[in-house]
């Protein structure tokens, strides 16, 4: 059976209203606006309201993507939610989202590859269409990282924000769309970035809470080095698979973790920084939501033309990484 080409039919994103500035953080931990901006490039991030969870953010983004695709939720065959901050350990946030979208019966599952989750989700969703199993697949990257961040730890609390981005995938009749995917993982780095307690290995207890093990922990320096190396490598593998040269790239949509990481990765790829679409200054690192929110902003700003070559590339806990080349058509 020959694989069918797969493209993007619609895009949407959502960030909560509340904005947390670097000045706000100065009042919470021993930090400064100057340190945060020069070391990360982040100025503000959005924080979910008390009554909002990951599925709520996902629902807003999904509705916008369906609207953009000119589809109803009932047209979907599959829902994939990439998240490392699910509403609950189980059931899947994708099932909760399905209910919030007002539909029943459609296959729905979560995918956990941390900040690489959205690219993993695109790759998985696209396979179902390429194989002729499904027609319309919703892929969402959604996070409420504010719920797992230790707001007293200046090493991490300045970095993250909440948000969601979504795309609807469908067969690409003109043959454009996804040209290649590259996914990878290295479990030897699992300890570098993790939330240790609350799972089967370390069930939540008064002790784990007292030790702060229900918060995200990160070895920032090691993750930084890994990120720069793997972004360049993942990009090159994906370009090779697609038979596309670096010079043909119109835009790079990188994972939005730290401006210095994006800068170093673009240098490593020998591409001008202007080709990278960056919005991390306004949102911080939204993990699996970062890439789809950025892609949607690029699209909504009318900066994409049919035939443009896009490189999406991300990295995250796991450790994981992923990249895809898209020939834009919409
Ligand atoms: N304000 C002021 N000082 C701070 C802050 C802060 N918010 N945070 C750390 N510092 C201090 C440190 O304590 C340290 O002080 P010391 O020298 O007295 O010990 C000093 O600043 C330098 O700390 P470093 O950690 O070396 O700072 P660095 O320049 O490496 O920046 C950062 C830290 C921003 C975390 C960087 O390492 C980074 O971005 N790493 C990658 C993070 C990342 O991309 N994570 C992705 C997660 S993806 C996912 O799956 C969720």
By the 10 Å C-beta count (0-12 exposed, 13-18 middle, 19+ buried), 330 is classed as middle
255 is an active site residue: yes
Ligand 1 atom closest to the Cα of residue 318 is 50
Query: Residue with the nearest Cα to atom 7 of ligand 1?
Result: 154
Distance, CA of 42 to CA of 59 (rounded, Å): 26
Would you call 244 helix, strand, or coil by DSSP? Answer: coil
Q: Which helix (H) or strand (E) holds 210?
A: helix 206-210
Q: Tell how far the Cα of 220 is from the centroid of ligand 1, in angstroms.
A: 5
**CA-to-CA distance for 9 and 126, rounded, in angstroms?**
12
Residue range 32-68, pLDDT digits in tens:
999 999 999 999 999 999 999 999 999 999 999 999 9
Structure tokens at 260: 């210095």
State the average pLDDT for the chain.
Answer: 97
> Do the two domains 6-175 and 178-283+290-327 of this chain adopt the same fold?
yes
User: Is there a catalytic annotation at residue 115?
Assistant: yes
Residues 271-295: what's their mean pLDDT? 98
Nearest CA to ligand 1 atom 14: 155
| Burial tier of 154 (Cβ tally within 10 Å: 0-12, 13-18, 19+) | middle
**Is residue 193 a contact partner of residue 319, using CB atoms and an 8 Å limit?**
yes
Q: Which two tokens stand for residue 45?
A: 């991030």
pLDDT, average across residues 295-319: 97
How far apart are the CA of 221 and the centre of ligand 1, in A? Answer: 7
- Distance, CA of 57 to CA of 81 (rounded, Å): 11
Which of the listed residues 21, 34, 39 should we mutate to test ligand 1's pocket, taking the one with most ligand atoms within 8 A of CB?
39
Residue with tokens 């730890």: 153
What percentage of the chain carries pLDDT values higher than 70? 99
DSSP 8-class letter at 29: S
Residue written as token pair 């099932």:
95
- Contact in structure between 169 and 149 (CB atoms under 8 Å): no
Cβ proximity of 266 and 48 under 8 Å = no
178-283+290-327 is classed CATH 3.30.70.260: no
Longest Cα–Cα distance in the chain:
60
pTM above 0.85, yes or no: yes
The per-residue DSSP string of 157-187 comes to HTTB-EEEEEEEEEE-TTS-EEEEEEEEE-G
175 torsion bin: left (phi>0), alpha (psi -120 to 50), beta (else): left
Would you say domain 6-175 falls under CATH 1.10.540.10?
A: no
CA of 155 to the centre of ligand 1 (A): 5
Residue 61 in tokens: 């983004």
For 110-132, what is each residue's pLDDT tens digit? 999 999 999 999 999 999 999 99
* 258 tagged catalytic: no
Query: What was the pLDDT predicted at 174?
Result: 82
**Hey, which of 82, 224, 231, 316 would you mutate to test ligand 1's pocket, going by the most ligand atoms within 8 Å of its Cβ?**
224
Task: Report the distance separating Cα 20 and Cα 174, nearest Å.
Answer: 43
DSSP-assigned states of every residue in 262-318: HHHHHHHTT--GGGB---HHHH-B-GGGHHHHHHHHHHHTT---TT-EEEEEEEETT
Q: DSSP class of residue 3?
A: P
Reply yes or no on whether the pLDDT at 289 is more than 60: yes
- Name the residue at shortest CA distance from atom 30 of ligand 1: 221
Of the candidates 136, 255, 258, 296, the residue annotated as catalytic is 255
Single out the catalytic residue among 22, 258, 285, 296: 285
pLDDT for res 2: 65
Is residue 92 predicted with pLDDT exceeding 90? Answer: yes
Each domain of the chain, given as residue ranges in start order, spans 6-175, 178-283+290-327
10 with 296: CB under 8 angstroms?
Answer: no
Quick one: tokens of 155?
Answer: 């090493």
Mean pLDDT over residues 242-257, rounded?
97
What tokens were used for 284? 């911080």
User: Ligand 1: which residues within 6 Å by Cβ?
Assistant: 31, 35-36, 39-40, 114-115, 154-155, 158, 193, 218, 220-221, 223-224, 227, 257-258, 261, 285, 287, 316-317
Mean pLDDT of 304-315: 96
Q: Catalytic residue among 115, 136, 182, 258, which?
A: 115
CA dist 329 and 312 (Å) reads 15
């Amino acid at each position: 059976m020959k694989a069918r080409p797969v493209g993007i039919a619609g895009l949407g994103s959502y960030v909560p209203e509340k904005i947390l500035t670097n000045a706000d953080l100065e009042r919470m931990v021993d930090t400064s606006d100057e340190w945060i901006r020069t070391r990360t490039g982040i100025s503000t991030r959005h924080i979910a309201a008390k009554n909002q969870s990951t599925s709520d953010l996902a629902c807003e983004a999904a509705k916008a993507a369906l609207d953009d695709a000119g589809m109803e939720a009932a047209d979907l065959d599959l829902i994939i939610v990439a998240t490392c901050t699910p509403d609950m350990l189980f059931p899947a946030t994708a099932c909760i989202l399905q209910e919030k979208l007002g539909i029943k019966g459609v296959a729905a599952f979560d995918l956990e590859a941390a900040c690489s989750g959205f690219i993993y989700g695109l790759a998985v969703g696209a396979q179902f269409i390429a194989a002729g199993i499904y027609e319309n697949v919703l892929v969402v990257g959604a996070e409420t990282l504010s719920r797992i961040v230790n707001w007293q730890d200046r090493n991490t609390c300045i970095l993250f924000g909440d948000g969601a981005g979504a795309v609807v995938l469908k067969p690409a009749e003109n043959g454009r769309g996804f040209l290649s995917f590259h996914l990878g993982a290295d479990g030897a780095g699992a300890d570098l970035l993790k939330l240790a307690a609350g799972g089967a290995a370390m069930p939540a207890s008064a002790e784990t809470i007292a030790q702060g093990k229900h918060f995200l922990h990160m070895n920032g320096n090691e993750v930084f080095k890994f990120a720069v190396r793997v972004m360049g490598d993942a990009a090159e593998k994906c370009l090779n698979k697609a038979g596309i040269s670096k010079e043909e790239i119109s835009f790079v949509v990188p994972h939005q973790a730290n401006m210095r990481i994006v800068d170093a990765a673009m240098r490593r790829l020998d591409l001008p920084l202007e080709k990278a679409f960056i919005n991390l200054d306004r949102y911080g690192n939204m993990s699996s939501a970062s890439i789809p929110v950025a892609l949607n902003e690029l699209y909504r700003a009318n900066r994409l033309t049919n035939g443009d070559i896009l490189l999406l590339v991300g990295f995250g806990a796991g450790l994981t990484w992923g990249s895809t080349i898209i020939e834009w058509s919409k």
